[in-house]
Amino acid sequence: MIYEYRVYRIVPGKMEAINNRFRNVAVRLFEKHGMKVVGFWQTMVGENNELTYILSFEDLNQMQRAWDSFRKDPEWIKTRKETEADGPLVAGITNKILVPTDYSPIK
């Protein structure tokens, strides 16, 4: 099992819009394309314009196939276009692929 850790730096004033996009569309499409959501977090102390989430995958190949099919999904393409009609929601992304240690409670 591998975990993808993603931190989105949200454009000021767009946090509600990005949360709505995940809540109403993206989470469902993640599941459709084989992406298991571990969790979502909004930064409480520190950079308050960040949204962090973690996805789990069987391996790198499954992760690549899932992202490829997600990005080509007509509903995602339409939703992204509509939700970014007034400009982008995300100013930048940090992405890391994590592998659990042998002593991690999450494997």
pLDDT at residue 31 above 90?
A: yes
For the chain, counts of helices (H) and of strands (E):
4, 4
Q: Are 11 and 84 in contact (CB under 8 A)?
A: no
Band of the pLDDT at 37, cuts 50, 70, 90? very high
Q: What is the pLDDT of residues 51-79, one digit of tens each?
A: 999 999 999 999 999 999 999 999 999 99
Q: What are the Cα distances from residue 86, in Å, to 59, 74, 81?
A: 36, 20, 10
Q: Could you tell me the residue ranges of all domains in the chain?
A: 2-98
Percent of the chain with pLDDT over 90: 93
Whole-number pLDDT of residue 107: 84
Side by side, the strands of the sheet bearing 90-98 are 36-42, 50-57, 2-10, 90-98
Whole-number pLDDT of residue 96: 98
Please give the CATH topology (third level) of the domain spanning 2-98: Alpha-Beta Plaits (3.30.70)
